[in-house]
Amino acid sequence: MNRNITISFGLHTILVIITAMSLPFLSKKPIDLPPIISVELIQISDKTSIPFAPKAKKIIEKVKEKEKKLVSEQAPPKKVKKLKPDSVPLPDEKIEKVKKIKDEKQNPKKVETEVKQVSEFEKKELFDTNSIAALIDKSKVESAETNKKLDKITQDQDKNMDFSGLSLSEEDALKAQIFGCWSIPLGLPYNEDLLVRIKLQLKPDGSIIKTEILDHARMNKPGQGFYKVLAQSALRAIKLCQPLRVPSKGYEKWKELQLNFDARQMLEG
């Protein structure tokens, strides 16, 4: 037994010496702190609820110029954000997108007159704007979700106007409300496509006139039973949350709303 202890002691001493030579706490190097970057905190509501009138004229001028140019439908993007196709868009990207949508809504009258002028000049058959709208909307709908966000950016990129249907804070309020109402079915398979898009028509007080599930065909597809369950849970969430937390003004901008229920984040857990 003694022999063992002696050997153990000797070997340990050797180890200790080696460790002592190389232990970091023995060498007193100064700690390297990263340089302090000064950050300025801005209130974003200033940026998102900008009054439109002063800028409107400038913007309308810009639109006219662009119309005269020969551009393809997919003009080279001015601000291309590197998006992973199926990621949730970041808040600042949303501001861009939402702002651009607001732009267009602000000036429907102006642009319409342009259209009329050109078509008279043209003497071609009148395009049925509604059917084209339907086609374009459908193509937006039918394109795979992976491309959805990308398309949005390229379509809107040539407009950098300052309009939006909902401000960031208004959108957050609505989201927070629905988060509370949506009981995500726990039994869903977590590695499937878990996105349900529902189009809503709203009354000014936030109550619902009509709901429509996009991708309706998936509801009864065999093997996609969970999609129906997910869609039903989304519908229940909407019904439960009536009246929706909508802004008090600007009804025209948000009277039609599309809610994209994506359960992946919650279930990936």
Other residues' Cβ atoms within 10 Å of the Cβ of residue 162: 20
Q: Determine the Cα–Cα distance for residues 163 and 99; give it in Å rounded to an integer.
A: 4
Residues 57-96 that bind another protein (CB under 8 A): 63, 67, 70-73, 88-89
For the bound state, the minimum distance from the C-beta of residue 54 to another protein, rounded and expressed in Å, comes to: 20
Q: Site size for another protein, by CB under 8 A?
A: 95
Question: Can you read off the two tokens belonging to residue 217?
Answer: 């065909």
Q: DSSP character for 71?
A: -
Under the criterion CB under 8 A, does residue 2 sit at the interface with another protein?
no
Residues 169-188 that bind another protein (CB under 8 A): 171, 174-175, 178-188
Other residues' Cβ atoms within 10 Å of the Cβ of residue 166: 22
Look at the block and give the residue holding tokens 């929706």.
Answer: 244
Among the listed residues 45, 129, 143, 169, the single contact to another protein using CB under 8 A: 129
The DSSP bridge pattern shows strands 208-213 and 195-202 to be antiparallel
Helix (H, G, I), strand (E, B) or coil at 238: helix
Judged by CB, which is closer to another protein: 19, or 45?
A: 19
Q: Please, what's the b/e burial string for 182-215 (b: 16 or more CB within 10 A of its CB; e: otherwise)? A: bebeeebeeeebbbbbbebebeeebebeeeebbb
Q: Which stretch binds another protein (CB under 8 A): 11-19, 32-40, 54-62, 77-85?
A: 11-19
Judged by CB, which is closer to another protein: 38, or 130?
A: 130
Residues 17-46 that bind another protein (CB under 8 A): 17, 19-21, 23, 25-27
Among the listed residues 80, 90, 118, 209, the single contact to another protein using CB under 8 A: 118
Residues in contact with another protein, shown as a per-residue x/- string from 238 to 267 under the rule CB under 8 A? -xx------------xx-xxxxxxxxxxxx
For the bound state, the minimum distance from the C-beta of residue 38 to another protein, rounded and expressed in Å, comes to: 33
Judged by CB, which is closer to another protein: 44, or 208?
A: 208
Asked whether the beta carbons of 200 and 257 are under 8 A apart, the reply is yes
Question: Can you read off the two tokens belonging to residue 253?
Answer: 């901008």
Under the criterion CB under 8 A, does residue 160 sit at the interface with another protein?
no
